[in-house]
């Protein structure tokens, strides 16, 4: 089991190992998209780059960056991930939403 903490929202959610981070956020009404992302998101296919989150703790508990992330996050800090491409493999993870808008 994994425990995902969304720091700004002050919400902790439990996830099965192998859960998709974007799906877990949406399921728990965590708002991961900025206004533009709400209008234009690709629905989780790694194409739009609007589902960015910042991993504050627990990167070691997440899947490796995918090729789509390498492309979209080339100029972003290593702590940024596309949530739709990120699998939670257990343990504790702390996430900051909308880092690009902060």
Q: Is 90 in the site for ligand FES (CB under 6 A)?
A: no
Output the CA torsion 31→91→86→8 (10° steps).
Answer: 20
Q: Which uninterrupted H or E stretch holds 55?
A: strand 52-57
Q: Is 82 in the site for ligand FES (CB under 6 A)?
A: yes
- Out of 7, 28, 31, 46, which residue is the one contacting ligand FES (CB under 6 A)? 46
Q: Which is nearer to ligand FES, 10 or 71 (CB)?
A: 71
Give the residues across from 96 on adjacent strands: 54
- Ramachandran class of 17: left when φ > 0, alpha when ψ lies in -120 to 50, beta otherwise: beta
Nearer to ligand FES, 10 or 39 (CB): 39
Contact residues for ligand FES, defined by CB under 6 A: 41-42, 44-51, 82, 84
């Amino acid at each position: 089991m994994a425990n995902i903490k969304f720091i700004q929202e002050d919400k902790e959610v439990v996830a099965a190992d192998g859960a998709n981070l974007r799906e877990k956020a949406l399921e728990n009404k965590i708002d991961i998209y900025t206004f533009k992302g709400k209008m234009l998101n690709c629905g989780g296919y790694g194409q739009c780059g609007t589902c960015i989150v910042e991993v504050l703790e627990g990167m070691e508990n997440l899947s490796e960056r995918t090729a789509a992330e390498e492309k979209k996050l080339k100029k972003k800090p290593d702590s940024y991930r596309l949530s739709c491409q990120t699998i939670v493999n257990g343990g504790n993870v702390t996430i900051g939403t909308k880092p690009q808008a902060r």
